[in-house]
A and B are shown apart, each in its own frame.
Chain A
Amino acid sequence: MLSKRIIPCLDVKEGRTVKGVNFINLRDAGDAIELGALYAEQGADELVFLDITATVEKRKTLVDLVRNVARQINIPFTVGGGISSIQDASAVLNAGADKVSINSSAVKKPDLVDQLAREFGSQFVVVAIDTKSMNGKNFVHTHGGRTPTSIETEPWADEVEKRGAGEILLTSMDHDGTKAGFANELTAKISTKLNIPVIASGGAGKKEHFVDVFTTGAADAALAASIFHFGEIPVPELKQFLHEKGINMRIE
């Protein structure tokens, strides 16, 4: 049986890992490659590297970082942040990335999803959706969560699947940084409706939250950052806990 995935996310700025609360107030959490290698060794199922400043500063994703990560890490990893063209995606693919995550650029130019899927295959294309509820509805936000749009989250998820996205990385800004649990209801709605995997993100604070997101939230994978970076919940301990709770986990 396919196991559920635990994915540490490394928010990278100038080669260092940082993690903010609600996307601001960055705290340094160490060298990105060292941390990534540690997580791989500990049994993380995948890694995500997000260059969190890339979109805002119009910088290209750090191809060198990707190359170094690929040399040292033998589990799959996704790279995101400022990827806005076939050329950007091709550069990180050739440096060794397994997937790209696109967010603001997909909202700005939805056809990019189709183009990337055609050129590199759906398995290469993760569409990240930052969502926030306003007046009882969920809206897509871009630029690291700074810019609200008038696009509603659920129809947007449907649309990117139709355009060829291979996975959705759903980050609830209402939950991110709160450590009060994932957005289980919204994750479940999207995950059960779509025919592609959904990675839930935002709100992990304790091990039980992961049980909830895999059961109530119907997530295929769960992503978190600070709880791993600051050693609050080590990856092996989390996976063992989930395994004991009957969640299908890769334990080696």
Chain B
Amino acid sequence: MNIVIVKYNAGNVVSVTNTLNRLGVEPMHSDDPETIKRADKVIFPGVGEASTAMNYLRKQGLDKVLTDLHQPFLGICLGLQLMCKHSEENDTDCLGIFDLQVKRFSNGLKVPQIGWNLLENLNSPIFIDLPEHPYIYFVHSYFAEIGNETIATSNYSDKFSAALHKDNYYAVQGHPEKSGKTGQKIIENFLKL
């Protein structure tokens, strides 16, 4: 299977690579449009800041490429946020795959949310064979609001989209690559799509 991890200088791709390796897959890392278009599946991880990441994607022409793919695509953490329409983080226009706003937690709780939180209202093949309310590891200060494309919710005083899905595009706010067996199962399910 030809899995490409989008390289855009945001964050820790080592963990995603290690998880894929444990599942017997050796991914490629690439920011080359043709390589990404040819992939069987594309993973779009990310830790970092929205405007810097979007500037890099636009400079490489990847904003157009990533929004016009047809194979299964999985955004993780900042990846999910960049797939939304707009982020409050430095007032950044994002890719717009999901018609949702990304907002900063402003509920008096500690920011970033760091740690394990429950997924609820699971509704997607990427969550097959998981417990009803599995725990996922989160590290984030911004969140996507709830919308029609929400396929899992979580609650950090505010209820937010823990995962999204539209057509071939999937995204999770937490870090499956850091979430033990549960997270590994989510990635395994994605690989089976």
Chain A residue contacts of B114, Cβ below 8 A: 123, 166-167, 197, 220
Q: Is the CB of A3 within 8 A of B115?
A: yes
Q: Report the minimal beta-carbon distance from A6 to chain B, rounded to whole angstroms.
A: 10
Q: Report the minimal beta-carbon distance from B92 to chain A, rounded to whole angstroms.
A: 15
Q: Is the CB of A71 within 8 A of B21?
A: yes
- The answer, yes or no, to whether B61 is at the interface (CB within 8 Å) is no
Partner of B135, one of A3, A4, A40, A197: A3
Q: Report the minimal beta-carbon distance from A119 to chain B, rounded to whole angstroms.
A: 10
Query: Which residue from chain B places its CB closest to the CB of A251 in the assembled complex?
Result: B135
Q: Is the CB of B110 within 8 A of A123?
A: no
Partner of A196, one of B110, B135, B138: B110
Query: Which residue from chain B places its CB closest to the CB of A74 in the assembled complex?
Result: B180
Stretch of B10-18, B35-43, B62-70, B143-151 contacting A (4+ beta carbons < 8 Å): B10-18
Q: Given the complex of chains A and B, what is the CA–CA distance between A5 and B138 in angstroms? A: 12
A45-B116, A196-B110, A220-B110 known; A250 and B178 CB under 8 Å?
A: no
Chain A residue contacts of B18, Cβ below 8 A: 70-71, 74, 96
Q: Given the complex of chains A and B, what is the CA–CA distance between A76 and B178 in angstroms? A: 6
* Interface residues in B, total, Cβ within 8 A: 39
Q: Is the CB of B19 within 8 A of A74?
A: yes
Q: Is the CB of A95 within 8 A of B117?
A: no
Chain A residue contacts of B125, Cβ below 8 A: none
- The answer, yes or no, to whether B24 is at the interface (CB within 8 Å) is no
A74-B177, A95-B14 known; A1 and B139 CB under 8 Å?
A: no
Q: Report the minimal beta-carbon distance from B9 to chain A, rounded to whole angstroms.
A: 11
A2-B156, A95-B14 known; A123 and B47 CB under 8 Å?
A: yes
* Interface residues in A, total, Cβ within 8 A: 32
Q: Is the CB of A75 within 8 A of B12?
A: no
Q: Is the CB of B111 within 8 A of A3?
A: no
Of residues 95 through 114 on chain B, the ones whose CB sits less than 8 Å from some CB of chain A are 110-114
A40-B180, A76-B178 known; A195 and B12 CB under 8 Å?
A: no
Q: Is the CB of A2 within 8 A of B12?
A: no
Q: Is the CB of A166 within 8 A of B116?
A: no
Of residues 138 through 193 on chain B, the ones whose CB sits less than 8 Å from some CB of chain A are 138-141, 155-156, 175, 177-184
Query: Which residue from chain A places its CB closest to the CB of B78 in the assembled complex?
Result: A121
Chain B residue contacts of A196, Cβ below 8 A: 110-112
- The answer, yes or no, to whether A93 is at the interface (CB within 8 Å) is yes
Partner of A5, one of B11, B115, B140: B115
Q: Is the CB of B137 within 8 A of A75?
A: yes
Q: Is the CB of A98 within 8 A of B178?
A: yes
Q: Given the complex of chains A and B, what is the CA–CA distance between A3 and B137 in angstroms? A: 10
Partner of A123, one of B15, B131, B139, B155: B139
Q: Is the CB of A2 within 8 A of B113?
A: yes
Q: List 22 A-B contacts (CB under 8 A).
A: A3-B116, A5-B116, A45-B116, A70-B18, A71-B18, A74-B18, A74-B179, A74-B183, A76-B139, A95-B14, A96-B12, A96-B15, A98-B15, A121-B49, A166-B112, A167-B114, A195-B110, A196-B111, A197-B114, A220-B114, A250-B135, A252-B135
8 shortest interchain CB distances as A-B pairs: A96-B14, A250-B116, A250-B135, A123-B139, A2-B117, A76-B178, A3-B116, A2-B115
Contacts A5-B116, A74-B15, A122-B141 given; 17 further ones with Cβ under 8 A?
A2-B115, A3-B115, A3-B135, A40-B180, A74-B19, A74-B184, A75-B137, A75-B178, A94-B14, A95-B14, A96-B12, A123-B47, A123-B114, A195-B110, A197-B110, A220-B115, A252-B182
